[in-house]
Structure 1
């Protein structure tokens, strides 16, 4: 009897599995699931709309992709908010502009806010420092975070480790750290100055 097990994890999962079992790379097949490319993001919006005989303008699709950045949940959030405000077909860039604040509010409360609230005050301080240093939300050197917070790197280990265990950040590579969800740094810069 053959069995297939499918699992999902954060970007550092292969390293965790390797640390627990030295030959884990032979046991598992890793497939990185990342942001949708433009074609897939457009299809996620266009296919259900076509079933309702609704179309999107090219400009609306451009604006939606720019807002969602290909992240599947964001495509869904911006798409729903836009759909809800659109009165006619084709859905326009103006519909996207009007619906975007609703999507951003939903993401701020239900997506980003719920994650932020799980963090302790020390962890929040750590994430805000990460956000300040990660202009494009890319990985940040842990030494830079310590320098910005004017602390010794070792004193920040409990906050960093707590955030990793909560799945809010991951170790991109030795000496650097990144947010597990896109635009989290941007959210922190906008909401928690």
Structure 2
């Protein structure tokens, strides 16, 4: 699975099996401001509190409250005074207070604590200016202050590789708070297993040649394994084949890429401004990987400053990310090949 699906699985486990209160959100570039991240989380935490309250009322009506579970909250913080003093600014205090209140309610309902899960967290970037916006540090500082005082709250941040660099640049001691896990591409053996396991017990098989072809096509991306498998299954069902073969795949490639373009790629471009779209489509003419700004300058008449601004905006929109100065990679797999197809399609029009 990819990172977003993995985060959903975390939510299912924490809420279902572990009984924690959970808050899962997907961040967007517009949340990269102090007031925006506080407002977003305050609203989400309010919803968590309301959900807990509803569940408690239902339990009370059913007279099914288990008092012994409540006793587990020996970490109960009703009687603990949490200090928000020191150098914390008002917005950090406000966010920490919201998290604390939600955790109090979770504990009173017999839950072990609160977990906050944020996807696309790479959009949170602290400004270098001391008086600027520091949404990432604000978030981390609020959670850190509570954790230091034994409040059972956890924070999971999920995002592109730039997230790690953003955390290291944050004004807080964030590197001490997190255990990093890289969710990369599947290995060839993992891809093979992900493709073949759903066939077990179905009466259908896949030839070794087909499996090799699929592994080469999907490049270790979980969503692609699912898509290739689904299309091959439906085709095999329609023609009543018991074995998935390279011949089936060859006839389906056009259908698969058309679906990918429409469902997966087009939305990443259609939401951009015309200037951003134009520059992005021009990168189809550049060598890749990686995408070099020096190559982009060769295919566009835009000034260097304008190219840098547009690439920065594309990074903010989550279309590309910077690996180092002057070097970028697309965030979506096989995106360069898609841009070539899209440019040909647009030029034909």
TM-score of the superposed pair, with normalisation by structure 1: 0.90
What are the Cα deviations for residues 128-181 of structure 1, in whole angstroms up to 9, with x where unaligned?
Answer: 23222134xx22222321232133221123321221111001011112111111
| Structure 2 match to 1:31 | 181
Whole-angstrom CA distance in 2 between matches of 1:143 and 1:45: 39
RMSD value, Cα: 1.8
Q: Look at both structures and tell me which one has the larger radius of gyration over its CA atoms.
A: 2
Unmatched segments (≥5 aa) in structure 1: none
Are the counterparts in 1 of residues 318 and 331 from structure 2 also a CA contact under 8 Å?
Answer: yes
- Among 277, 281, 293, which residue is 1:124 paired with? 277
Whole-angstrom CA distance in 1 between matches of 2:165 and 2:324: 10
| Structure 2 match to 1:98 | 251
| Structure 1 match to 2:62 | none
1:21 equivalent to 2:171? Answer yes
Q: How many residues align?
A: 191
- SS at structure 2 position matched to 1:105: helix
Are the counterparts in 1 of residues 265 and 335 from structure 2 also a CA contact under 8 Å?
Answer: yes
Are the counterparts in 2 of residues 38 and 65 from structure 1 also a CA contact under 8 Å?
Answer: yes
- SS at structure 2 position matched to 1:192: helix
Higher relative contact order (CA 8 A, sep 6+): 1
Where do residues 145-184 of structure 1 align in structure 2 (5 Å cutoff)?
145-184=296-335
Whole-angstrom CA distance in 2 between matches of 1:23 and 1:145: 37
| Structure 1 match to 2:97 | none
- SS at structure 2 position matched to 1:6: strand
- SS at structure 1 position matched to 2:323: strand
Whole-angstrom CA distance in 1 between matches of 2:167 and 2:287: 28
Are the counterparts in 1 of residues 281 and 339 from structure 2 also a CA contact under 8 Å?
Answer: yes
What are the Cα deviations for residues 18-60 of structure 1, in whole angstroms up to 9, with x where unaligned?
Answer: 2223532222222221211111111112111113132110011
Are the counterparts in 2 of residues 82 and 98 from structure 1 also a CA contact under 8 Å?
Answer: no
| Structure 1 match to 2:336 | 185
Following TM superposition, the consecutive aligned residue runs of length 4 or more in structure 1 with deviations greater than 6 angstroms are none
Whole-angstrom CA distance in 2 between matches of 1:173 and 1:126: 19
Q: CA deviation at 1:3?
A: 4.8
1:78 equivalent to 2:231? Answer no
Are the counterparts in 2 of residues 128 and 185 from structure 1 also a CA contact under 8 Å?
Answer: no
| Structure 2 match to 1:109 | 262
